[in-house]
Structure 1
Amino acid sequence: MQFLRPLIFLITLGIAQSKADVDIPASTLSLPEVGFGDKTAPVKVVMYYSLTCHHCSEFKLDKLPAFKQKYIDTGKVYFVLKDFPTDEFSLKLSIICWAGRDVNKYLERSKLIIQNFNPDKVKTVAFDWVNADKPTEVIEKLLAPTGITPDMIQPLLDDRSLEDAILHDALITGHELGLNFAPGFTVNGKLVEMKDLDKAIDEAIKSVSTKTVS
């Protein structure tokens, strides 16, 4: 991932360590919510993730199917995905994925990106954008079946309103909850790490059940 090193800006670096005012863009464009399950479920889990984050991709590819079966399909959890770009390239990827502001296209594109995410070169992928000399060109080819064309890229990256919409929630979350890592999760509004996710959800379910009985 050498090409990422000079791009990293860690959007919440210093935010979690300081209560000083943060320049949070005023989002005039509301992006659709990327949610799964029953909105009335007793527990709401929000995953803040970056498209250049190894652990984020690992969770979505390897752990989310079982998570979905255990919590989402059973009506216990309403699960929401939110962009939390941790470097400039992950921000660019998020912007490209949101072309057209369509949730289904966003999911299709982001899935292709993480399926071809191969920073450690431990698998064979058709579009190895991480290790490419010109990653954006590889991304263009990867996402071509989803409607992305080369002439669309620069206008998308120049769309400040789209950039602000993506960064708005991430910066607010980083400032208010102290989130400066990815993936980050909130369980009914409380920030938890991935290793504590199941425990936090089970405790939240139990807490809601107790209140209902009372």
Structure 2
Amino acid sequence: MKKASVLAALLVLSSLQGCGGSSLVNTTALTPEQADAGGAGSAFASSEGSKAEERFNPFADPNERATGGREVIADPTLADVMKTGSLPEMSFGRADAPVTIVEYASLTCPHCRHFHMTTYPAFKKEFIDTGKVRYILREFPIGKTSGAATIALRCAAPDKHLTLFGKFMEQQPSWVSQEVRLDPIFKVASQVGMTRAQFDACRENQAMIEGLKWVKDRGRTLGVIGTPNFFVGNKLVKKELSIEDIRAMVGPLVAARATASADTPR
């Protein structure tokens, strides 16, 4: 009985942290969490990465050695966080904003959906639109369904990335499933003008897929273990942020930047 109570408590706490592969998922009924676990792991993951995600632990020390020998950077610098691969960043807001927030998201993650639907509108209005924060969206697909949708997201025109991301989030129940269903995924992508020929061609774009794999692998190296995970500057936060969280973290950083600018000789 005691073991059952401990397990139940861990499951509740895990659900508050975010999405990730887990062997504790109930497979008798389909939910976005199950699709996000993905069974065999992400479409972009190596076998080592898949095993790591199946043993997802929201309480893991971000500085510990990753499964399979991958080295996690302890206390990454802002330069470490901002390192990019072959794909351009999906970046929104002023490039010279005093604070940068990076979100690692999986399109099938219900916690990512909740953040986008409930917190993002206020975050955008208060911080991105006012020039205080540069927001970067990075892919961390968990599960093959999320991987297929992520490829479609990257195939959209750059000025449609955030719009399509929002549509995938808003319409999760219509396309998320344990088995990859391309038609419902394309139906969402078509809402931003993507043709079926473009959608199909993107799934064969190996250079882009390798670029997406790099983004995810780099996220792991930085300590990302699930979704949503955020970098606020160079601080990794492994939970869904509320607008109060964002205000508490961004406010002092903006003030410090303003003070530093005022003290800089002109």
Q: TM-score range by the shorter chain?
A: 0.7 to 0.9
Name 1:66's counterpart in structure 2: 122
Q: 1:134 to 1:209 in 2, by over 3 A?
A: closer
Q: What is the aligned counterpart of 2:208 among 134, 143, 162? A: 162
Name 2:225's counterpart in structure 1: 180
Name 2:161's counterpart in structure 1: 106
| Residue 203 (1) aligns with residue 252 (2) | yes
* 1:50–1:86 contact (8 Å) kept in structure 2: yes
The whole-number CA distance in structure 2 between the counterparts of 1:198 and 1:135 is 39
Q: State the AA in 1 paired with 2:126.
A: K
The whole-number CA distance in structure 2 between the counterparts of 1:111 and 1:174 is 24
Q: 1:133 to 1:38 in 2, by over 3 A?
A: closer
Asked which structure has the greater CA Rg, the reply is 2
SS in 2 for 1:98: helix
Q: State the AA in 2 paired with 1:140.
A: F
* 2:152–2:189 contact (8 Å) kept in structure 1: no
Matched ranges for 1:66-145 at <5 A: 66-99=122-155, 102-118=157-173, 128-131=174-177, 135-145=181-191
Q: State the AA in 1 paired with 2:96.
A: T
Q: What is the aligned counterpart of 1:40 among 77, 96, 99? A: 96
> How far did residue 212 of structure 1 move?
3.6
> How far did residue 213 of structure 1 move?
4.6
Name 2:39's counterpart in structure 1: 6
> How far did residue 42 of structure 1 move?
0.9
Q: 1:21 to 1:41 in 2, by over 3 A?
A: same
* 2:104–2:228 contact (8 Å) kept in structure 1: yes
The number of equivalent residue pairs is 198
* 1:140–1:150 contact (8 Å) kept in structure 2: yes
- 201-210 or 55-64: which moved more? 201-210
The whole-number CA distance in structure 2 between the counterparts of 1:71 and 1:109 is 21
Higher RCO structure, 1 or 2 (CA under 8 Å, sep 6+) = 1
* 1:29–1:161 contact (8 Å) kept in structure 2: no
> How far did residue 152 of structure 1 move?
4.3
* 2:145–2:176 contact (8 Å) kept in structure 1: no
Q: Name the Cα RMSD after superposition.
A: 3.0
The whole-number CA distance in structure 2 between the counterparts of 1:57 and 1:143 is 17
Where structure 1 has 5 or more consecutive residues not aligned to the other structure, the ranges are 23-27, 119-127
Name 1:192's counterpart in structure 2: 237
Q: State the AA in 2 paired with 1:205.
A: V
The whole-number CA distance in structure 1 between the counterparts of 2:86 and 2:41 is 26
* 2:101–2:231 contact (8 Å) kept in structure 1: yes
Q: State the AA in 2 paired with 1:97.
A: L
- 46-55 or 144-153: which moved more? 144-153
Q: TM-score, normalised by structure 1?
A: 0.77
Q: 1:76 to 1:107 in 2, by over 3 A?
A: closer
> How far did residue 205 of structure 1 move?
2.0
Deviation readout 1:33-56 (Å, 9 max, x if unpaired): 222221111111111111011111
Q: Percent identity?
A: 27
Where structure 2 has 5 or more consecutive residues not aligned to the other structure, the ranges are 1-30, 57-61, 72-83
- 145-154 or 83-92: which moved more? 145-154
